[in-house]
Amino acid sequence: MTPSKWDQNHPIWSEWSQTAPYVWMNGELVPFLHAQMPVMSAACRAGVNVFEGIRAYWNEARGKLYVFRMREHYQRLVESMRIMHLPRPEGVAEMEALLLDTLRANRFQTDVHVIHTVYLDAPGMEALGPIGMYIVARPRGRLHPLEPGITCGVSSWQRMPDQATPFRAKSGGNYLNTRLGGVEVRRHGYDAAIFLNTRGKVAEGGGACVFAIKKGVVITPSITSDILESITRDTLVELLPRELGLAVEQRDVDRTELYMCDEAFFCGSGWEIVPIRAIDGVPVGGGEVGPLVRKIYDLYFNIVRGNRPDYRRWLTEV
């Protein structure tokens, strides 16, 4: 007999219940399989929630775990809560403290990914409460290795515009659009989707922002392109000119600019830095991981892992 979902040996959930032993939910640390919500809540039925995906990095030499840009993640969570009318009594500092408590309770000594969700715990679509909250943290390494890079397809599904369901808010329901595009391009043999917005310009990946480099100039869609205001994107916009002497242009990006660039990559808290080696079957540059993406990858990991004292301000020790 197949184990029930509430069984520690369930094929999908056993790994989670073993590796994320304690979930913080509505004021308690509970075992993973006890973190539940009513099936008729608007959160379950319609994805009425907002969340953050946050990483913490284990520094082996120092024996320390560091959360990357925690303050910015919680500032964005509060903004998403405001856009989607999901108020909670906690402010940024209280939510940060809850995250640190959850990480400590789980005693991680490895790289960790966190989902911190605020959700509508009532059936009515317009209800303004009660609003629930949970934090799930679990060990998670790289989504993709540096080599050989991934292949992308531009999806026929468009990113929703700000006047429909804004991508500036990191809300669960937005990811239905990500699902449609992701399933579509995988059916066509690609690894991941790139979405255009309703103006026909490049928006972003399913859960990552997109960067292209041509003749040493870095381009990325502006924050008014119907994208999430990504913290990794912001990190690179600040770092690339200073650390690598690269000019960064934030502007409208055409689909065909992606076909003509020398290098391209996805970035995000979960994705980190992932080289793109082909788009719609057109090789990016030579179809291999380029020299600048390699440098950006090394720079990013040195900083997030705490090996660059000059960027320690972006890290919070657990």
Collapsing DSSP states into helix, strand and coil, what is residue 128?
Answer: coil
Would you count residue 221 as binding ligand PMP (CB under 6 A)? Answer: no
Would you count residue 209 as binding ligand PMP (CB under 6 A)? Answer: yes
Using the Cα atoms of residue 255, residue 257, residue 263 and residue 264 in order, give the sign of their dihedral: negative
What's the one-letter identity of residue 311?
A: Y
215 is catalytic: no
CA-nearest of 309, 182, 283, 166 to 229 is 166
Based on CB atoms, which residue is closest to ligand PMP, 209 or 264?
A: 209
Among 149, 181, 207, 290, binds ligand PMP (CB under 6 A): 207
Positions in 35-74 near ligand PMP (CB under 6 A)? 53
Would you count residue 228 as binding ligand PMP (CB under 6 A)? Answer: yes
Q: How far is the CB of 77 from ligand PMP (least distance, A)?
A: 11
Would you count residue 243 as binding ligand PMP (CB under 6 A)? Answer: no
Would you count residue 136 as binding ligand PMP (CB under 6 A)? Answer: no
Q: How far is the CB of 204 from ligand PMP (least distance, A)?
A: 5
Which of 5, 64, 170, 201 is labelled catalytic?
170
Which residues, at least 6 apart from 295, have a Cβ–Cβ distance to it below 8 Å?
244
User: Binding marks (x or -) toward ligand PMP, 267..296, rule CB under 6 A?
Assistant: -xxx--------------------------
Among 151, 171, 230, 316, binds ligand PMP (CB under 6 A): 230
**Cβ atoms of residues 65 and 57 within 8 Å:** yes
> What is d(CA 106, CA 140) in angstroms, rounded to the nearest whole number?
14
Strands 150-154 and 272-279: parallel
Would you count residue 106 as binding ligand PMP (CB under 6 A)? Answer: no
Would you count residue 220 as binding ligand PMP (CB under 6 A)? Answer: no
Based on CB atoms, which residue is closest to ligand PMP, 53 or 132?
A: 53
> What is d(CA 146, CA 289) in angstroms, rounded to the nearest whole number?
8
Tokens coding 198: 């309703």
> What is d(CA 38, CA 29) in angstroms, rounded to the nearest whole number?
18
Based on CB atoms, which residue is closest to ligand PMP, 207 or 290?
A: 207
Would you count residue 182 as binding ligand PMP (CB under 6 A)? Answer: no
DSSP state letters, 39-75: TTSHHHHH--EEEEEEEEEEETTTTEEEEESHHHHHH
- Catalytic residue positions? 170
Where do contacts with ligand PMP occur on this chain (CB under 6 A)?
53, 204, 207-209, 227-228, 230-233, 268-270
